């Protein structure tokens, strides 16, 4: 893997967090840490995270619930870290969308190796299947950040592109105003802020912005992307 990747380590045991951070940083990863799922969710919403190492049993919301929230809007690799080795938790974690399940008796070196293996596998899959998104008139190249509508290049601002990419990677998933504010404006702003940006984006990609084909308003809730 080339370049610097950011790993989010989530565990309420500070000694485990520090140990994993040391090993991951020694392998040239950037590391962010959280001691509970509330803190982890805030970090995930406000930063570009490439992989998550996630403890299951923590005070408050557990790791399974956080994984469910993450999977509602992202395919970022998630590796569960648990003190329990029984198959019930393992099956549940993988069913929820976890990419691996590691028992805490594993050495830090093994954990790092499994992080790297999952990221290699995910990167390979993205290169094979996920780098070009096509929806009829609309095409997004995730490698070059190019957007094409009806065969012509469309110039988007960085914010407009990131908004479009989020929607296009999750067709028909409704994103609330609150989720969009948290992810793109760090919770600062109001619904008008989002409406203005989505209106400008519609002007650039929709054949009729007043009757959008792609960016559809969900009355009173937010927006969703119609990929068909």
Q: pLDDT higher for 131 or 69?
A: 69
Render pLDDT for 85-100 as a digit per residue (tens, 0 to 9).
777 888 888 888 888 8
Report the mean per-residue pLDDT for the chain. Answer: 87
| 196-225 mean pLDDT | 94
Is the per-residue pLDDT at 148 higher than 50?
Answer: yes
Q: How much of the chain, in percent, has pLDDT values that exceed 90?
A: 52
Question: What's the pTM value of the predicted model, to 2 decimals?
Answer: 0.57
Tokens 């990863």 map to which residue?
29
Closest Cα partner for 79 from 87, 67, 65? 67
Report the pLDDT value the prediction gives residue 153, as an integer from 0 to 100: 92
Report the pLDDT value the prediction gives residue 1, as an integer from 0 to 100: 45
Q: State the pLDDT confidence band at 186, using cuts at 50, 70 and 90.
A: confident
| 144-151 mean pLDDT | 90
DSSP secondary structure of the chain: --S--EEEEE-S-HHHHHHHHHHHHHTT-EEEEESSHHHHHHHHHHS--SEEEEES--SSS-HHHHHHHHHTT----EEEEES---HHHHHHHHHTT-SEEEETTS-HHHHHHHHHHHHHHHHHHIIIIISEEEETTEEEETTTTEEEETTEEE---HHHHHHHHHHHTSTT--EEHHHHHHHHSTT-S-HHHHHHHHHHHHHHH-SSTTS-SSEEEETTTEEEE---
Q: State the pLDDT confidence band at 126, using cuts at 50, 70 and 90.
A: low
Q: pLDDT higher for 158 or 187?
A: 158
| 163-175 mean pLDDT | 89
| 117-132 mean pLDDT | 69
Render pLDDT for 1-28 as a digit per residue (tens, 0 to 9).
444 789 999 999 999 999 999 999 999 9
Render pLDDT for 196-208 as a digit per residue (tens, 0 to 9).
999 999 999 999 9
């Amino acid at each position: 893997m080339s370049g610097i990747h950011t790993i989010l380590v989530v565990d309420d045991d500070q000694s485990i967090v520090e140990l994993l951070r040391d090993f991951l940083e020694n392998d040239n990863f950037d590391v962010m840490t959280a001691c509970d799922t509330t803190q982890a969710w805030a970090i995930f919403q406000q930063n570009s995270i490439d992989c998550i190492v996630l403890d299951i049993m923590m005070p408050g919301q557990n790791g399974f619930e956080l994984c469910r929230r993450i999977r509602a809007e992202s395919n970022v690799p998630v590796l569960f870290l648990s003190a329990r080795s029984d198959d019930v938790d393992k099956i549940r974690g993988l069913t929820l969308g976890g990419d691996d399940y590691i028992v805490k008796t594993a050495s830090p070196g093994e954990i790092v190796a499994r992080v790297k293996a999952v990221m290699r596998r995910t990167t390979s899959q993205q290169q094979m299947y996920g780098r070009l998104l096509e929806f009829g008139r609309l095409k997004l190249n995730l490698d070059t950040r190019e957007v094409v509508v009806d065969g012509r290049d469309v110039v988007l601002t960085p914010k407009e592109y990131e908004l479009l990419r989020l929607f296009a990677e999750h067709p028909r998933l409704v994103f609330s105003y609150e989720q969009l504010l948290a992810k793109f404006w760090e919770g600062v702003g109001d619904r008008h802020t989002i409406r203005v940006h989505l209106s400008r984006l519609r002007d650039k990609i929709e054949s009729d912005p007043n009757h959008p084909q792609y960016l559809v308003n969900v009355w009173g809730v937010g927006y969703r992307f119609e990929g068909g």
